[in-house]
Amino acid sequence: MGNVVVAAERLPKLEDYLCFAVYSANLPLHRLLKPLLDEVGLTYPQYLVLIALYDDDHQTVGGLGDKLFLDSSTLTPLLKRMEAGAISRKSTDPVRLATVRPLASQPPDRNLP
């Protein structure tokens, strides 16, 4: 097989990619939320975890990961940091496996974007 050379003018431009449009739309939202979340000591993924927990507490770690599209290698350290910061509590129940609950009695502000 020979080398295939594609003319630069035929390649899509960065702004033509859907993934770039989604990324670009997400940036202003994160810029807006970051100072608000910094005030309460949360990252955006931790904020999403809290929202998910207030929707349904006593979730398994696996169920929470499925809901948030996070694998265990991402979710487990995040939950450990939340537990160390007294934001959530993870417990092990022989029947239900590991479950996660929020510690705060008030849910996060759902008026945030």
The pLDDT value recorded for residue 20 is 95
Where are the chain's structural domains?
12-41, 42-108
At 89 the pLDDT is: 59
Contacts 24+ apart (CB under 8 A), 33-37: 33/112, 33/113, 36/112
Which residue type sits at 44? Answer: Y
- Contact indicator for 82, 46 with CB cutoff of 8 Å: yes
- Alpha-carbon gap, residue 96 to 89, rounded angstroms: 15
Q: Distance between CA atoms of 98 and 94, rounded to whole angstroms? A: 8
Tokens linked to 45: 């993924």
The fold of the 42-108 domain, in CATH, is: Arc Repressor Mutant, subunit A (1.10.10)
- pLDDT for the residue numbered 102: 57
Q: Mean pLDDT per segment of 10 residues, for the chain of length 113 residues?
A: 61 92 93 90 87 81 90 87 70 52 57 57
Residue 53: predicted pLDDT: 84
- Three-class SS of residue 85? coil
